[in-house]
Structure 1
Amino acid sequence: MMVATGVGVIIVNPQGLILLGKRCGSHAPFWSIPGGHLDPGETFEQCARREVAEETGLQIAPPRFIGISNNLQTWQAEGKHTVSICMWVQHPGGQPELKEPEKCAEWRWCSPTALPEPHFEASRNAIALWLSGNVYQPSI
């Protein structure tokens, strides 16, 4: 069993809302920030920009690293262990599009303090790190 590395991107609009997608397919029915698995040879920034473009059509600036999350609840529930690199960027403008409708049913701007449920663990952890200003929250 390998531990997979993911990159998640918090995109914040001028009103302070963040972009969340309603996942379908293998992540049904969780809400989540945009993101995905890191490809071999990719920087975190390259992965973030690629995943956001693939999922939403948005062309973001290079995002800023905000933290790292060890997603152990998903490991306990599903047997899939991921470590997530959490990134942040300002919304570049424009409307997010459903570029991968088989993976995501809708995009919605949401308050980071009132997340829709059920919420993907890696996304919840990234948002919590961003709001708290921490880069890591130990799992005790």
Structure 2
Amino acid sequence: MASPVSPSDHVAPQAANASALIYNDRGEYLLHLRDYLPGQIWEPGMWSLLGGGREPQDATLEHTVRRELAEEAGLRISDLTPFGVEEATDDSGATLPIAIYAGSWNGDSRELHLTEGVMLAWFAPDDLHRLRIAPSTSDLVRRHAASRTADASAPAPQTGSVQGGECRPAASPNGTVLNIIGVHLYLERSDGTVLLGLRHPDSGFAPSTWHVLAGHCEQESAVTCLIREAQEEAGLLIEPQDVELVHVVHHVDRTGDQPRMGLFFRAHTWTGEPELREPDKCTQWKFWDPTALPERLVPYTRVVIEGIRAGRLYSETGWV
């Protein structure tokens, strides 16, 4: 477990190792998938933080973590600050104190030059349960995320009326329910086959089921979301002028669930072949004949593909 400290506190002197909690503006954390070398390295085959042991040339543990970031990933963070000490336990039961430093970075993990381990990737705290990760590391990330939320400044003013010199947000009409916006890629090759991905068995949504490349809109436009997800999930490069909206589906998974609006965009041209960029989410990409789609396919995806082929622009699924 890690004991949070303020930036002005001194990191416990008994710690001889240091690791970095790297986070971005989307609230995600940069994790390192370690090589599977049992008996040779710490936490083999697990997702962990970047870091390592203090060496003679390191004047402080902050020097240690900065050196490790540079050596392991060519990464330099300007605003590293102490966060706590994680007490990790090895296979023999021995406790190893690790000084934790936190800092922000908004780059592309795939562009880093990794010299150790398998890969680096961004993960939201809510996705950690799908990973092979030490409970202490998962807890550390979640508590840091909670501390950022608690320290955040007050929400920006919302559109509404001004009363007594204060801006009061406009109330939503009675019965209003927020809808989740999902963006989907309808990628069809010249031979008519359509790209689908097989979702990971541990996925919280539709495990071991085929689905189009998709993601949720963040603080961005739908087309920007589509382009970002295509690159992050499959390494595909798409230009905004090469996409068009071809179908909208308004659906619920089960009666009473939060409704979702799914936007399906066709990419007329793109660069690259589908790659497994997020193997914890998708285990296979494959182009399918739309007349012979897999049996295990997300239901609304099947409805949409049939609708697109029939020239329909809108569908509803899951409603009573």
The TM-score bracket by the shorter chain reads 0.7 to 0.9
The secondary structure found in structure 2 opposite 1:78 is coil
- 1:12-40 Cα distance to aligned partner (Å, 9 max, x none): 11211110011013232110111111224
| 2:98 corresponds to 1:84 | yes
Who is 1:66 aligned against?
83
CA distance in structure 2 between the aligned counterparts of 1:88 and 1:32, rounded to whole angstroms: 14
Report what 1:17 is aligned to: 28
Structure 2: gaps spanning 5 or more residues:
1-13, 148-320
* Higher Cα radius of gyration: 2
Which runs of at least 4 in structure 1 moved beyond 4 Å after TM superposition? none
Change (3 A) 1:123 1:42: farther
Residue 51 of structure 2: aligned partner: 35
Contact 1:49 1:62 in 2 (8 A): no
Separation (CA, whole Å) in 1 of partners of 2:144 and 2:102: 8
Where does residue 137 of structure 1 map in the other structure? none
Indicate whether 1:97 and 2:108 are aligned.
Answer: no
Query: Does 2:148 correspond to 1:131?
Result: no
Give 2:123's aligned residue.
Answer: 110
Q: 1:16 to 1:131 in 2, by over 3 A?
A: closer
Q: How far has the Cα of 1:97 moved from its partner?
A: 2.3
The alpha carbon displacement at 1:62 in A equals: 4.2
Deviation at 1:118, TM superposition (A): 1.6
Count of residues paired in the alignment: 126
The answer to which structure has the higher helix fraction is 1
Which ranges in structure 1 are unaligned for 5 or more consecutive residues? 134-140
Greater relative contact order structure (CA < 8 Å, 6+ sep): 1
CA contact 1:98–1:105 (8 Å) conserved in 2: no
Asked whether the equivalents of residues 15 and 99 of structure 2 are also in contact (C-alpha less than 8 Å), the reply is no
Over the residues paired in the alignment, what is the CA RMSD in angstroms? 2.4
Matched residues, percent identical? 24
- Structure 2 distance, partners of 1:56, 1:106, is 10
SS at 2:126 equivalent: coil
In structure 2, the CA distance between the partners of 1:48 and 1:125, relative to structure 1 (3 Å rule), is farther
**Change in 2 beyond 3 A, CA 1:84/1:122:** farther
Corresponding letter in the other structure for 2:82: F
